Structure 1
Amino acid sequence: MSEVKNSLTGQADDGARTPRPFMAGKGFKSATAHEAAKQEHGSLARFLKICAAGTALAALARPVLAQSEQQAAASAHLFTSSQVVGVSVVIGVISAALLSTLWLVRQRGNLENESREIRSALSDAQQRISQYQALIADKNRRIVIWDGNSRPELLGQLPPETGAPQDGEFLAFGLWLKSHSASELEKAIDRLREAAQSFDMVVETIRDEILEAQGRVSGGRAFVRFVALNNLRAELAELRIERDRLITSISAFQTMLDAIDMPAWQRDPAGRLTWVNQAYGDAVEARSPQQAINEGREMLTTVARERIRATTTPESPFHDKISTVVRGNRTFFDVVDVKVPGGSAGIAIDVSDIEAVRAELERTLKSHAETLDHLATPVAIFDGERRLQFYNQAFVALWELDIAFLEGRPDNSELLERLRAAKKLPDQLNWKSWKEAALSVYRALDTQSDLWHLPNGQTLRVFATAHPQGGATWVFENLTEQVDLETRYNTLVKVQGETIDHLSEGVAVFGPDGRIRLSNPAFRALWGITETEAKPGTHIRALGEACAPSYDRPDGWKTFAELITSFDDERRSSQGTLELFSGLVLDYAVIPLPNAQTMLTFVNMTDSVRAERALTEKNEALRKADELKNDFVQHVSYELRSPLTNIIGFTDLLRTPGVGPLNERQAEYIDHISTSSSVLLTLVNDILDLATVDAGIMRLNYAEIDLNDLLDDVSMQIADRLHESGVALEITAPAYLGTIIADPQRLKQILLKLLANAANFSPEGTSISLECHREGTDFVFSVRDHGPGISPDMIATVFDRFATGAKSGKRGGAGLGLSIVDSFVSLHHGDVTIDSEPGKGTTVVCRIPSVNIPHSAAAE
């Protein structure tokens, strides 16, 4: 039976349950717990009523059941099996009702006990809530609670003197907290709500009140407590804020010092570096300021540091200029070093440029003083107290004053009195007024000038200029020489006028307005105008109209008028030639003069022009004759080469056995004919080549030439000629000369002509040498013989045409070989030189440059 009761009640053996408060929302809610208890109590009451009704029914059925049992026992034999089952069901229902009644009675007792416990816990909770609310209601603290995304709840309040709002504007921290405190607090609250990161911090209101803010997370809620601090805690918080402010200021100050280009440093009491800025590190060539501190790199010398340490006191900082070496250059710094309780601090300002400017200013002032001292114009400078500060030698020579008096720095008024006493100033009716007018320059804004007529006959123009900082400068210009110069100038002008009037060239001078200032008779005679038409003041256009009958062309007087009246910044000169209707040829020149004046000159060149034209006509005739000569040479050369070719061909044919045998005399004649024909053909070819060069139609056929093959070919072709002359050929060249881009045929002709010329003048049994080498891309070769040489007066003509040395050579010739060599070398843009001494042979050196790209070139 007890097991059944336990299964029904579920807590029969547990005894009384411990009462616990109901937590809901944002704290204890007593009203909600009370309503839940009332609902549960009402359900139990209804259930108990139902159970009581069942119990009553069971009580009413109990006599009936007893009677039925007695009857059943008396007449057991009278019931059927269905009756027995019905009776059993009734008995079971009655038993269940009894058990339910017992359970309900026990449950009712438990509910009453729990109700009493709940009411007791509710009363305790309400009492604690009242205590908490009384505690939170303290004016020295306020709590802000966030529960999820719901609106925050505000509990408590802060003192009014803090300036904290009591309404919903409390969370607008920027309205009542200082900007840096509001910014840090908002960031801390964001971290608290998002990452559950607690914080403790001190904030400062705009009324300079100190609050302590504590952020925590509990039960899934985030809350921040604001506490108004008492005196000690507020003072501690203020000290913390002041410390943070000082740390920030020091950091900003050090950052600023790192940014400026002035070395700064801090030292401990022992003089060791504890902090330097970036400029200091750069000055001592350290990779970073920390390296300069670790290695103790000093920018100032030991003597300078000891001097600073010895002279610096807390009341009197060190301030002086110090010279040191920075990055290998001598540098001047304006150093300021102060002593502080923890050591010292200093800064250095680079004043090298200022020192250089100061030194340059001193040199400039000294140079100006020296310059003024060497001027011929007297100069005197007075300071702000009107005392003589500077004077030059010309000033001493002008007034003939005592040096001792001037070195005593006299007052300007005293100086004028001394000059008046020496009778060196102009005589004045009212001396006092004149002196005051002269000394008024110290109060004047503009420069004052005056003429002083001295008793000794000199005339001075005096300029007095006041200085902005006080004082004045007096300049005495001696006009005596100027007057003499003006007199002489007027005399010179008259002389020049007379001179111009007697010139054979026509001269006219015009002003900037285009009007004539002067003209000479030659000008009027050349243009056939009268003196009235060319009188001073006549405009150039009117003068052009007067000269129109002699010369009326657009390029005449209109051009002169444009040049004379032009407003160009740079005035142009012009010259040329014009021919008048009368046949006179004039050379004109437009020459700018000072003061914007212009001179127009005309020279009669009629006789010279006529002579020049005659010479030009003769020269043209000679040029045409030269052209005819060239045409004749070319025609004759071509006409001669054709029959010579036939003669040489038939001579070679007569030598062949097929024609028939020749006797000895015929063979000798045939050899002479062949030799003469070859010489004549060579001469004709040479003449034709020279004519082609002279006509400017010679073209070079550039090709790449192997120089070693070229030398082999030349040595084979010249072998017969060398054998005939009885001389040997020595070729000196590197094993491989390379290639060159030139005309193969003309280059071969150059070598053959030089070798043939050397063989012609070399004695039998000697040798001629051919030396070849390369200089860059140039091909340089020289031919040397051991002949009689050339006299110095003949060297200049060896390259001339038809210059022969037949008297000393084995063979005579037309003298065209070296001329052809010179022409072909020039066509290759090379050069040829000759060196010879009588009795020591001759050396000809040629340089042939190589072209970059093969092309055809015509002779110029």
Structure 2
Amino acid sequence: MNLDETAIVLIGLLLAAWTLAAAWAFLAARRRERRTEAMQRHARRLGRMVDESPAIPLLVRADGRIEAPQRLANWLGLDNVPGYLSELDDGKRGLDAAQLAELSENVRRTQRTAAPFRMVATPRGSRRSLALRGHLADPQVSPGGAALVWVFDFSDSESELVKLREEAARARGDFTALVSLIEAAPLPMWFRAPDGALRLVNSAYVAAVAGDGAEDVVAAQTELVESVDGLTARQVAVQASEQKQPIERIVSVTIDGQRRAMRVSDLPLGDDGIAGYAVDIEDLEELGRSFRAFRDAQRSMLDQLSAGVAQFDAKRQLIFANRPFQRIFGLTPAAMLDPPQFARFLDIARDEGRVPEARDFPEWRREKAGWFSSSETREEAWPLPDGTHLRIVAQPVPDGGLLLIAEDRTEQLRLSAMRDTLLRTRTATFDSLFESVAVFAPDGRMQLWNRRFAADWGLDEEFLDTHPHVEDLLAKIAARVAEGEPARGVGDAVRAATLDRKQTSGRIGLADGRTLEFAGVPLPDGNGLLTVLDITDSQKAESALRERNAALMEADAVKTRFLANMSYELRTPLTSIGGFAELLQGGIGGELDESGREYVGAILSSVDRLGEQIESLLDLSQSEAGMLPLAKDRIELMPFAESLARERAKRIGEAGLTLDLRGDKSAGAIAGDRRRLARAIGHLLDNAIAATPKGGRILLDVSRQNTGEGEVARIVVSDNGRGMDEQTLARALDGLKVASDGHTVERRQGLGLPLARQLVEAHGGTLELLSEPGEGTAAIVELP
């Protein structure tokens, strides 16, 4: 029982072991099957991936047999994949002989040396481009030194490469042209490295910095632009690169010894560097300066105009207004600090009462704003509420702005009204003149005339209303001119006044016996004035005056002969009387008693006095007749005055007077006739002696005075006698006195003062008498 149980247990254990072994075997087989299936799926996936890959494998064994998918045959244009490498060329399709030989040689070299190779092949009759990359195959793939060649179809890449090669060639050409263009550019251009160092400059840059060549300029890092505000051109370029924005500035550059304005630009080119160029804008700056100077001069000139001028830009903003415009429209300086728009300007002008009254001002303002879009100049007259009349001219300018001109014509209208009044006044004045007046234009036509002109020449008003030509006028008056009197003289006077601008005159006799005097006078306006005066009566008076003048000339000749004869007839007897008296006084006729000697002395004294009176009378007569001869001697004034005082010392003493002589050598000397000048000053002293009562004082002062016209010698004779009033003083100078009848005048018996005045004036001097009743008289003589 135990044995059986043991056997059963053993059998059970054996069966269990067998069952376990069978289960394990089944599981192991199942795992292997699944692994195999997985490997097959992986192999199919890899094979499919190889088939779908852009590269096709070609396995070349050591004996020349090949393995490859069908796609390779399709790429090569073959029906099937051949068995050997040498069969890839069938003479019509596949690789050509040269390409196959190269491939065979490369495969053999790889199989021997394991060196990879690359080549490019193009099948016959195809545009497909194949790239072959070969290397020694892994022993797991194919033992025995097989070569694995991967074939790539890069037809599309080749087209891209060709296109890229063409574009590269074109780019190289463009770059060459660009470099040539930059080199030939007339403005300096350069290229900098990212750190700002110069790497490339063109010929204009080299010429601007006066360098020997581009390489030398780059090597020396010669900068075209000087440092500005402590920053060099290199630092500015680095700033442009860091900011990744172009920097443009205007600086002054010295080129060929001249300072020129240039616009310098630095352009960052990413990480490649910074490009730069400089444009010479000196001519533009000079043009700008000239334009600004012209604009300033124009605006300064506009400020001097009497008319107001304003400029509005395309935005209708006031950009300029001269002072007359500001004054006309009441624009204050505060308003000009912020120039108004055109509409606002009209509002300001309306507030100041400088625009016409309008029922609908907004509509009126919109209408005026249309001036900006107008194609022609507008002109309007603005009557203002205060009586001012403005002439407004609105001229659109090409830039869309507006030029506004305002002219105050109030005064002009007032002057026009005054002119009309003056014309009417002139016409009335012409008609009231005693003379005949006519005005002729430069073309010879009569413009104006008065009624007297028509009456003097006997012309019809209808004829004058046609404004006849001077030739037609001469034809009319020729019939009224006396025989032998040419009327052409009147036309010559008109032509001389209008064309030659000369004043001429003449006379013409008329057939009715009248005599007309005419004159042509040029007028400032270019016209000529013909004046005609009837001088018939004055001619008669002139004839009478000529006859009277001839009689006066004859009387003057008689007076001259009388003076010459009187000088002889008076002096000869007087000389004889004086000579005989001197003989009697000398005892030639016998000894005289005391009474006889007194009589002879009285005769000699009377002879001297009469001789002096005759001399004075002759000098006065000759002076009034203009025949007084004067000698020119040098006269020292102070000795001259002393001699005059000594000659009258006895008379002064007998009259109980005192003489005060003042002066010194500073009085100087004058040139004159000593004898006649002594007579003139002597007469003044004699009159002072005669007019001064006993105990009186006479002053004789000689000095040199400086007037506004130069120095003069002054001789003053004054006394403290009874003096004279104004009427007596005037008559004393003229040598006249009132006659006894109280109505007529007669020559004074004394000729001293008139003779003294005549003698002083004959020397070019003046005599002035100053006198007051009871205060005395002063005679002031001034001689050059």
TM-score (structure 2 length as normaliser): 0.49
TM value normalised by structure 1: 0.45
